[in-house]
Amino acid sequence: MTAATEAVPRPKARRSFLRRAFDRWPVKLAVAIIVVIWLIPTLGLFITSLRPESDIQTTGWWTTLGHLWKPSTWTFANYDFVLFRRGFSNAFLNTLAVTIPATVIPITVAAFAAYAFAWMKFKGRQILFVVVVGLLVVPLQMALIPILRLYTSGGHLFGIPIIPDLNLTGTFPAIWLAHTGFGLPLAVYLLRNYIGGLPSSLFESARIDGATHFQIFTRLVVPLSVPVLASFAIFQFLWVWNDYLVALIFLGAEPRVQVITQAIALLVGDRGEQFHMLTAAAFVSMVLPLTVFFALQRFFVRGLTAGSVKG
């Protein structure tokens, strides 16, 4: 720092509160406009979910702003109905049973693979990694039918049976494994970027001390990779929690195992435009992912950009 730059903060400190509030007002105004535009659709849903059914159908949600303090404007009836009478709490539990293992399994499998791709020597390492990243582009929808057939009647390639019939359809492991397979390319790609960026001196000294790969992985790599593990966890958690298609196909329509997005889709299906329940249901489904996101977001940026900043 030179003397010239040190002198800069002084006039700033003398500015009055009012002047600071209007400082850079074009920037603040632009940010505020974008924020408001982004917020309006969600705000509309939130306000609607707290309105009585008859009002939702007859007037726009923004009309509540005219009589915010009238008690008859608001009701919890939609939430009450969705949570306690439509079996949403059951769907909520099922979603947890699907989402938690479907987040932990791919992270574990991918972290071991990423470590091997970054720090172990074996034949075909580069080619295999490029293939894994290339698989990012296989559209999920492309895999659904073949996997479903695999689950119900085993696997055949050119008429040769290669995988036995496991009869997994409608079970939790069926959907865990499917989400693991679909999430792996991104997970391996992100984790390999980060783990490969750790200083090599670390690994050399651990090897000299006689640590095995397994010990290096569990005691060094995992603790050091918490940011990237958390970032991928957010991604995978949000993706699995919000997934409808994979659940519909591998869990089936049975109410006992249905997840929250299926329950919402059923509301759309059997009740037509029953906005009052839909809005509350949509909000219930958003609460947990938003909580997870805000809880883990401080890891997020560090974990995702570590590789690119270095490159």
Partner 1 sequence: MVWSAGFITDPEANRGLVVIAAIALGVVGVALLFKGMDFVVDRLPAHLRERVRPWIFVGPALLMLGVYLVYPAVNTTVLSFKGRNSQEWVGLSNFTEIFTDTESLVSLRNSLLWVIIVPLFAVAIGLTFATLADKLGRRAENAAKSIIFMPMAISMVGASIVWLFVYSFRPPGFGSQIGVLNGLWTGLGNNPVAWLLQEPWNNLYLMIILIWLQTGFAMVILSAAIKAVPEEIIEAARIDGATDWQIFWRVTFPTIASTVVVVTTTIIITVWKVFDIVFVMTGGNFGTAVVAERMVTEFFTFRNNGHGAAFAVILFVAVIPVMAVNVRQFRIQEERR
Exactly one of 117, 194, 232, 299 binds partner 1 (CB under 8 A); which one? Answer: 117
**91 interacts with partner 1 by CB under 8 A:** no
Q: Among residues 69 and 122, whose Cβ is nearest to partner 1?
A: 122
Smallest separation (angstroms) from partner 1 to the CB of 120: 4
Measuring CA to CA, which residue among 268, 117, 99, 275 is closest to residue 192? 117
Collect all residues with Cβ–Cβ distance below 8 Å to 267 and sequence separation of at least 6.
86, 274, 277, 278, 281
Helix (H, G, I), strand (E, B) or coil at 270: helix
Q: Among residues 166 and 220, whose Cβ is nearest to partner 1?
A: 166
**Is residue 278 within 8 Å of residue 49, measured between CB atoms?**
no
Exactly one of 21, 65, 140, 253 binds partner 1 (CB under 8 A); which one? Answer: 140
> For residues 235-264, which are near partner 1 according to CB under 8 A?
238, 241-245, 256-257, 261, 264
Exactly one of 45, 77, 198, 206 binds partner 1 (CB under 8 A); which one? Answer: 45
Cα dist. 244→235, 260, 279, 281 in Å? 16, 9, 17, 14
Smallest separation (angstroms) from partner 1 to the CB of 232: 13
> For residues 172-201, which are near partner 1 according to CB under 8 A?
172-174, 176-178, 180-182, 184-185, 188, 196
**133 interacts with partner 1 by CB under 8 A:** yes
Exactly one of 132, 228, 229, 233 binds partner 1 (CB under 8 A); which one? Answer: 132
Measuring CA to CA, which residue among 114, 266, 103, 273 is closest to residue 188? 114
The pair of structure tokens assigned to 8 is 């800069």
The pair of structure tokens assigned to 119 is 């720090």
**138 interacts with partner 1 by CB under 8 A:** yes
Exactly one of 19, 21, 25, 40 binds partner 1 (CB under 8 A); which one? Answer: 40
Whole-angstrom distance, CA of residue 11 vs CA of residue 14: 5
Q: Among residues 73 and 242, whose Cβ is nearest to partner 1?
A: 242
Here's the x/- map for partner 1, 153-172, by CB under 8 A: it reads as --x-xx----x--xxx-xxx
**13 interacts with partner 1 by CB under 8 A:** no
**233 interacts with partner 1 by CB under 8 A:** no
H-type alpha helices, 72-87: 77-80
**130 interacts with partner 1 by CB under 8 A:** yes
> For residues 272-301, which are near partner 1 according to CB under 8 A?
275, 278-279, 282, 285-286, 289-290, 292-294, 297, 300-301
H-type alpha helices, 135-225: 140-153, 172-196, 200-208, 213-215, 222-224
**39 interacts with partner 1 by CB under 8 A:** yes
Cα dist. 14→10, 26, 184 in Å? 7, 22, 55
> For residues 68-87, which are near partner 1 according to CB under 8 A?
none
H-type alpha helices, 225-310: 226-242, 245-251, 260-271, 275-310
